[in-house]
Amino acid sequence: MSSDADKHECSCGKGLTRRQFLTSAGAGALIVTASGHLGKDQEASAAVIKSGEETKITLLINGKQFQMLVEPRWSLLYVLREELGFTATKEGCGRGECGACTVLIDGMPRYACMTLAVEAEGVEITTVEGLMKGEDLGPVQKAFVEHDAFQCGYCTPGQIMAVEGLLRKEPDPTVGQIRQGVSGNLCRCGAYPHIIDAARRAAEMKKSGAL
Amino acid sequence: MTPGFSYRRAASIKDAVTGISEGNGRILAGGTDLLGCLRDSVFTTNMVVSITGIKELKRIDETPGGGLSIGALATITEISESPVIRERYPALAQAAAEVASPQLRNQGTIGGNLCQKPRCWYYRGEFHCLRKGGDRCYAVAGENHYHCIFGGNGCYIVHPSDTAPALIVYGAEATIAGPAGMRKVSLENFFVPPAKEVTKETVLEAGEIVTAIVLPPPLAGLKSSYRKIRSRQSWDFALAGVALALRTSNGRVTDARIVLSGAAPVPWRLVDAENALIGKVPDPDSAKYTAALSVKDAQPLKHNAYKIPLFKGLIEEEVVNISQA
Ligand SMILES: Cc1cc2nc3c(=O)[nH]c(=O)nc-3n(C[C@@H](O)[C@@H](O)[C@H](O)COP(=O)(O)OP(=O)(O)OC[C@H]3O[C@@H](n4cnc5c(N)ncnc54)[C@H](O)[C@@H]3O)c2cc1C
Ligand code: SF4
Ligand code: FES
Ligand code: FES
């Protein structure tokens, strides 16, 4: 490829590239520019929370504000379950591999196990509890019940949040999009066919405004 | 529970650089790789420096020359869905869409994707191997089904990033900020092969962070794609992946780039195969020839020779597909 941008880093072995030039000039292989130091306007520095020390944070969960003390290492999942009692959100792997801990952050599905609580300030957090319409189940929850979209139920809150997040972005998903949407949520019981039916049904219910 | 660390929320790039320069600080972006590494004791840190509050790192901007600058904090989802990237750098959008799961794409950033640690299971497990400063590689005589077939030298990891090969076919550069100022490094030279230094994955020096990835303007008429093969339907790292870019004039190839994922400890560019395509009509015959040439230097381990026909088939198919696209 011979765009201008490539010329200086061409590794085709033809001619003297900028990289080779710098190397042969003894400037260190990769230092291309030393274009000024970082701006003075960026001098502001931040407070440090020491390891083991607790700091006060405010989380916005299901439309309500919660203030609490947290250690830097605590995950959002730990705080939701152990500090605040939102126990619908489950811990499976703690490694970003299973999806049991899926919550919505600003409407998008994310893993609470891979999010630090101190990083979750200033965003809107939604858990399964937040999908309830008063005492009634929300449409995605209802569709999961209607379609028997679970066996042991361990993965279900995470599946529901993944589907909720998908439908907020794509109100009328294809089966392919649904498969994609729940591809980060493992179900050991193999309830996938029912989960996909439930997601379709939830889309219909949401569209018709029915609960 | 994750081992304890102090936490600093950087207010600026300079603050982040200062923060990680002290002690053994680590940058936190999306955290999808960092938290896993800390929990598995792949490494330890006394200071996590969060860069998520630095707004300028989130921008995706067109550059004056017609290229694109992607801030290090742009999420993988934002990259896969960006209309500009889909139109002008389709291989990058396709690669981003193939990364991990929807949740991890919403959370993971491009900077973190390029700086993530390898997935070798000995390395992620409790083995003090060469890459961790130990005295041997456990994979070479062990379970090496998912290890490299090119470029292994003491260590046999494959580079885990899907986006890196796609960025390399477009000649992208990383912008790096550090204690001494800013510098730029072509992404092709950003990753460190084990032959050079076995305990390092990137050229980043102490105190340095990636601030942006800059793509040059796309060549007129360039066709490009990324395709990934994994061992299961749900999320998984690449068993084999290929980023390809071709340009033809009067039916003959004038420019070619082929960069593999899942093949080597760094994104693996196939310069010989690229050169072999130049001047050819990209038909099934030249695709076959290119594919055979692509794997001729492969050095499989005991359990991963299956990758050779896999890459061969993939490259052959992709050359044909792209020329018909
Ligand atoms: C289950 C699972 C599946 C995955 N599958 C894939 C896959 O298929 N393909 C793929 O490509 N990836 C995959 N990943 C890796 C995924 O973590 C990355 O893709 C993600 O983009 C990392 O970004 P992050 O912002 O979360 O990084 P972080 O975890 O925040 O950071 C990762 C590393 O990079 C450093 N870092 C982060 N930002 C910067 C910066 N700006 N400058 C310098 N250093 C920095 C951190 O210190 C850390 O060491 C997977 C991860 C998991 C857990
Ligand atoms: S392949 Fe590399 S990371 Fe894996 S055990 Fe060997 S030296 Fe360690
Ligand atoms: S517990 Fe978070 S993904 Fe498994
Ligand atoms: S219903 Fe049991 S894991 Fe999904």
Put simply, the chain A residues between 53 and 112 with a CB less than 8 A from any chain B CB are 71-73, 75, 78, 94-97, 99, 102, 105, 108-111
Owning domain of residue A37: 4-48
The verdict on A117 and A79 lying in the same domain is yes
Q: How far does the centroid of ligand 4 lie from the alpha carbon of residue A100, in Å?
A: 10
A191 lines ligand 4 (CB under 6 A): yes
Q: In this structure, are A80 and A111 located in the same domain?
A: yes
Interface of B with A in 212-231 (CB under 8 A): 216-217, 219, 222
A2 interface with B at CB cutoff 8 Å? yes
Pick the CATH number of B1-50 from 3.40.605.10, 3.40.640.10, 3.40.50.280, 3.30.43.10: 3.30.43.10
B36 Cβ closer than 6 Å to some ligand 1 atom: yes
Looking at chain A, which residue has its C-alpha nearest residue B247? A1
**Cβ-proximal residues to B103 (8 Å cutoff; 6+ apart), any chain:** A96, A99, A102, A109, A110, A111, A162, A184
What is the domain-level CATH number for residue A186? 1.10.150.120
Q: What is the pLDDT of residue A15?
A: 37
The answer on A182 and A159 residing in a single domain is yes
Q: What predicted TM-score, i.e. pTM, was given to this entire model?
A: 0.91
In a shared domain, residues A143 and A104: no
User: Is the model's pLDDT at A18 over the cut of 90?
Assistant: no
Closest CA in chain A for residue B278: A1
CB contact under 8 A, A72 and B7: yes
Element (H, E) at B293: helix B284-294
Confidence of residue A209 (pLDDT cuts 50, 70, 90): confident
In CATH terms, B222-324 corresponds, of 1.10.3720.10, 3.10.20.30, 3.40.605.10, 3.30.390.50, to: 3.30.390.50
Residues A66 and A29 in one domain: no
- Residue B100, pLDDT > 50, answer yes
Overall average pLDDT of the B54-81 stretch: 97
Q: Which long-range contacts (CB under 8 A, 24 or more apart) does B62-65 make?
A: B63/B214, B65/B216, B65/B217
Work out the average pLDDT over B71-78.
98
The last residue of one of the domains, among A17, A32, A48, is A48
Q: Is the pLDDT of residue B292 over 60?
A: yes
How wide is the angle at C-alpha B305 spanned by C-alphas B301 and B311, nearest 5°?
Answer: 125
Strand, coil or helix: what is A131? Answer: helix
Question: What average pLDDT does this structure show over B29-33?
Answer: 98
Question: Region B30-35: what's the mean pLDDT?
Answer: 98
Indicate whether residue B31 lines ligand 1 (CB < 6 A): yes
Written as six digits, the tokens of B242 are: 């290929």
Same domain, A103 and A40: no
From atom 6 of ligand 2, which residue's Cα is the shortest distance away? B137
Instruction: Tell me the average pLDDT across A77-95.
Output: 96
Mean pLDDT in residue range B92-106: 98
Among the partner residues A1, A108, A115, nearest to B171 by beta-carbon distance: A1
Indicate if ligand 3 lies below 6 Å from the C-beta of A161.
no
CA geometry: angle B263, B170, B241, nearest 5 deg: 25
User: β-strands B240-249, B252-261: how paired?
Assistant: antiparallel
Give the pLDDT of residue B278: 97
Judge if A108 and A161 occupy the same domain: no
pLDDT for the residue A211? 53
On whether both A175 and A188 belong to a single domain, the answer is: yes
Return the residue in B13, B38, B101 with the most chain A beta carbons within 10 A, the one to mutate for interface testing. Answer: B101
For chain B, the structural domain boundaries read 1-50, 222-324
Domain of A94, CATH number, reads: 3.10.20.30
Q: What is the pLDDT of residues A130-181, one digit of tens each?
A: 999 899 999 999 999 999 999 999 999 999 999 999 999 999 999 999 999 9
Is pLDDT above 80 for A114? yes
**Chain segment A184-200, per-residue pLDDT in tens:** 999 999 999 999 999 99
Number of domains into which chain A is organized = 3
Percentage of the residues of chain B whose pLDDT score is greater than 70: 100
CA Rg, chain B, in Å? 19
Q: Which residue has the tokens 């941008």?
A: A5
Average pLDDT over residues A109-120: 98
Q: How confident is the model at residue B147 (pLDDT cuts 50, 70, 90)?
A: very high
Share of chain A above pLDDT 70, in %: 77
Q: Do B8 and A53 form a contact (C-beta atoms < 8 A)?
A: no
Q: Does A142 touch chain B (CB under 8 A)?
A: no
